[in-house]
Amino acid sequence: MTTQAISVPRPEAGLGDVSRSRFGAVLRAEWTKFRSVRGWVIGMILAALLTIFIGVFAAANASIGCAFNGGPQKTGKACVPYVPHGPGGEVVTDSFSFVRQPLTGNGSITARVTALTGEHANLSAGPAQVGNGNTVPGLTAWAKAGIIIKQSTHQGSAYAAMMVTGSHGVRMQDNYTGDIAGMPGSVSAARPRWLRLTRSGDTITGYESADGTHWTQVGAVQLAGLPSTVQVGMFATSPNYIVTQNSFGGDSSNSGPAQATGVFDHVGLTGATPGTWAGTTIGGGGPAGGPGTFGGRGSAPYSRNGGTFTVTGSGDIAPVTTGPGAGLPTVTIEQSLAGAFLGLIAMVTVAAMFFGTEYRRGLIRTTLAATPRRGAVLAAKAVVIGAAAFVTGLVAAVVSIAVGVPKEENQGQVLLTVPVLTEVRVIVGTAAVLALAAVFAVALGAILRRSAAAITIAVVIVIVPFLLSAARIVPAGVGAWLLRLTPAAGLAIEQSIPRYPQVTTVTAPVQGYYPLSPYAGLAVLCLWVVAALALALVMLRRRDA
């Protein structure tokens, strides 16, 4: 292959220019090859149409029915319960017992917590309701009691709170998603926790202390647009008690209601307040008591004995996620993208043929004679097919989401809305996964010189790990490792609902949770693609066409 070098006289002179324009020419040649084979263009269009069709089909049939609400069977949005949205736009749970009074202007609240106790359903004794006797004492990990400054008594309004929790120590949380750790350890009469929140304009600062004298700042948060009059006070709540079998299956879980009781004293307020306390249950989050339904109107949300307040509540102040922790049927935007798997098969087929066909027809000899720099041929093919797959995938993903998501919403499920930037990441990420898979198939086509084998490897290595873990064919632990190590890790870019540490739920692949973060997952896929391209380059250079 040394003879071809003759056609490049004086490589020193303007090397950059020459090689760039040459690469441009190779790129144009490969683009011409791609667009002039009608089957490949049809294949790409078909990939987009099938992606949209399957995605919208899956979205329109994602429903698990409308029976959860009880009563007569309803359809459509009629059976979606009211769900509040937090200041960040996400769906939230906002249910708790609140002992409060209004605070106008700047001020602070201080309280000492001397006990946090709770009870939850006795899951080993069949169906249970807190309050009907079939309960056992115990705290859920994220049972919480503490002090809170909240915009209003409306569900979903902005807040900042200092709290003690079941097993995560003192926390400062704000606006449902914010979570800052304070001192660890559980609370008791012997080891009380002093909590303080101060408001200064839009800034709320949280402090903690073990003795009421030495204070440590836990965090300071901005609550944009906080009105001049806010509600301050004490709260208690507890999310459902969930038992999961993480070691096998991961998707087998059992949950029942729970409630938490906090005991407060040394309650002090500064600032303009009326000085009288009122008890309110926010979002039906009072103590359990009524038969049949948990969180019904039972006993009062709090009792007072001199300076000691005892507050009992249930529910949670947290974002809603997928899985049994949500307590209601949820659906995510990425469920409209199920069709991308079919699109991927079609695109991988076209991509593998893009290289494989040249070997079968012998065109590769002409190609390599015209462009002796084999790396440039590989790069040009990768760029052309990657760009084509990306654009096709982008169009398909946008249409799938635009058409599919309203259909998901219309079946009595709560759509877990996400910020616009997250939605953009999911859509562009899906297109990127398709483009990377196509480039991967081009590299495999160059390595194997056989389209069929390249297609099979690319499809099996990307799709089957997802299938095995998402369709519960292998145990959750095995599935998680498959989704860390194989190219299927890249699908993590589609996960729209993050894994919130402050919410207990089942975070298995089948619930839409990937073991890696979105960009780490995409990086794993990129590594596979880079490795395949490198191997393809070595093989192309070493082999005689």
Partner 1 sequence: MNAATQAQPAAALAPAATRGAGLRYALHAEWTKLRTVPGPAWLLLGAVALTIAGSAAAVGATHCPQDLTCPADTTKLSLVGVQFGQAVVAILAVLTITNEYGSGMIRTSLAAMPNRLAVLAAKAILLAALVLVAGAVAVFGSVLAGHLILPGHGFTAARGFHPVWLSYGPTLRAACGSVLYLGLIALMSLGVAVIVRDSAVSIGVVLALLYLFPIVLAFVGNAHWQHRLERWTPTIAGLTIQTTTGLRNLVISPWGGLGVLGIWAAAAMILGALALRLRDV
Residues at the site binding partner 1, with contacts judged by CB under 8 A: 39, 43, 54, 57-58, 61-65, 245, 247-249, 252, 335, 338, 341-342, 345-346, 348-349, 352-353, 356-357, 360, 450-453, 455-456, 459-460, 463-464, 466-468, 470-471, 473-475, 477-478, 481, 510
Angle between helices 340-361 and 38-60 (to 10 degrees): 160
Nearer to partner 1, 146 or 339 (CB): 339
Instruction: Name the residue nearer to partner 1 (CB basis): 135 or 332.
Output: 332
Nearest CB to partner 1, comparing residues 261 and 336:
336
221 vs 483, beta carbon nearer partner 1 = 483
Q: Which H or E run contains 222?
A: strand 216-222
In whole angstroms, how close is the CB of 44 to partner 1 at the nearest point? 12
Q: How far is the CB of 356 from partner 1 (least distance, A)?
A: 6
Q: How far is 511 from 507, CA to CA, in rounded Å?
A: 6
SS3 (DSSP) at 175: coil
- On whether the CB atoms of residues 269 and 232 are closer than 8 A, the answer is yes
Give first-to-last CA distance, the chain, whole Å: 10
Q: How far is the CB of 347 from partner 1 (least distance, A)?
A: 10
- No. of helices (H) and no. of strands (E), the chain: 9, 19
Beta carbon of residue 478, minimum distance to partner 1 (angstroms, whole number): 4
| Shorter beta-carbon distance to partner 1: residue 170 or 516 | 516
> Which two three-digit tokens encode residue 178?
């914010």
Residue with Cβ nearer partner 1 (192 or 250): 250
Q: How far is the CB of 337 from partner 1 (least distance, A)?
A: 9
> DSSP strand E in 54-202: where?
92-121, 135-137, 144-150, 159-165, 170-174, 178-181, 193-200
C-beta closer to partner 1: residue 65 or 307: 65
- Nearest CB to partner 1, comparing residues 341 and 513: 341
Distances (CA, A) of 388 to 41, 395, 463, 467, 473: 9, 11, 21, 26, 34
The SS3 of residue 84 is: coil
Please give the Cα distance from 160 to 148 (Å, whole number).
6
With respect to partner 1, which residue has the nearer C-beta, 232 or 470? 470
Q: What are the helix (H) ranges across 250-315?
A: none
Comparison of 237 and 486: residue with beta carbon closer to partner 1: 486
Q: Give the number of other Cβ atoms within 10 Å of residue 369's Cβ.
A: 12
Strand partners, 415: 331
Angle at 419 between CA 416 and CA 422, to 5 degrees: 95
Burial classification of residue 132, based on how many CB atoms lie within 10 Å of its CB (0-12 exposed, 13-18 middle, 19 or more buried): middle
CA distance 313 to 303: 12
Q: Do residues 268 and 109 lie in contact, with contact meaning Cβ atoms separated by under 8 Å?
A: yes
180/478 with CB nearer partner 1: 478
CA distance 80 to 90: 16
How many Cβ atoms from other residues are within 10 Å of residue 467's Cβ?
15
* Closest C-alpha to 320, from 84, 145, 117, 114: 84
Distance of closest approach, residue 168 Cβ to partner 1, in angstroms: 24
Report the nearest approach of partner 1 to the CB of residue 470 (Å): 5
